[in-house]
Amino acid sequence: MRIAILGTGPVGIALGNAFIAAGHDVVYGSRSPEKDGRPAPVTTTAIAADSADLILTALPGAAAISTLEAVGDDVLAGKIVLDVSNAVTPEGALAYPNDSVGRLMQERFPDAKVVKSLSTMYHGVMTDPTALGATTVYVSGNDDDAKNVVKSLLSDLGWPEASQFDLGGIETAVGPEHYIPLFFMTLQAVGAPVFNINVVR
């Protein structure tokens, strides 16, 4: 499928490379499309989003909704938006305490199909999950068909079905997003980003 990745930081580049390796057609949307070093064509966010079946927001979470507003409601209508972002302040605190950028994005763009996933780990784990053994990737979203498309993309990244934990509707994105302080604390204690959590039951 054709995937527009909005954002050309380390997360967007890592996911783009992995999707290209899995046979997908990737285009980047960026406010600075002229920069080099991206693994796929780069254009404006609006043109990239308009051309794609799925739009992935690999942006700072606090900037994700305003970036989509610049893309436009009409471009987003009916499209799947996979939000992998976390909204934190420059100090690392939650920018939307007791809420989530995922839920706010769905509220702001009711005609898009927002799915939250992949926001709970380092990008090197997103694209090489089984190097750690079995761990968990959460999925939240209101539209089951859109979640199934995202789950198929997670499989393409190497996440076994048994590792894909469907939390429910987009209101459950508050859980993974509020995990981010624990991610940061664990990162400091471990001293390296290659870790993840596994739900054991």
Contact positions vs its own copies (CB under 8 A): 93-94, 97-98, 132-136, 138, 165-168, 172, 174-176, 178-186, 188-190, 192, 194-201
CB nearer its own copies, residue 28 or residue 122? 122
3-class state of residue 194 by DSSP: coil
CB of 110 to its own copies, least distance (A): 22
- φ, ψ of residue 5 to 5 degrees: the values are -100, 115
CB nearer its own copies, residue 110 or residue 168? 168
CB of 96 to its own copies, least distance (A): 9
CB of 184 to its own copies, least distance (A): 7
Q: Is residue 139 within 8 Å of residue 116, measured between CB atoms?
A: yes
Alpha helices in 72-132 (DSSP H): 73-76, 101-108, 123-126
CB nearer its own copies, residue 36 or residue 91? 91
Could you tell me the two tokens for 195? 């870790």
CB of 116 to its own copies, least distance (A): 11
CB nearer its own copies, residue 32 or residue 98? 98
> Sheet holding 164-168: strands in order across?
42-43, 25-29, 2-6, 54-57, 80-83, 113-117, 137-141, 164-168
CB nearer its own copies, residue 77 or residue 199? 199
Separation of CA 128 from chain center? 15
CB of 100 to its own copies, least distance (A): 9
Q: Measured between alpha carbons, how far is 131 from 135 in angstroms, rounded to an integer?
A: 10
- φ, ψ of residue 132 to 5 degrees: the values are -90, -5
Could you tell me the two tokens for 180? 């981010």
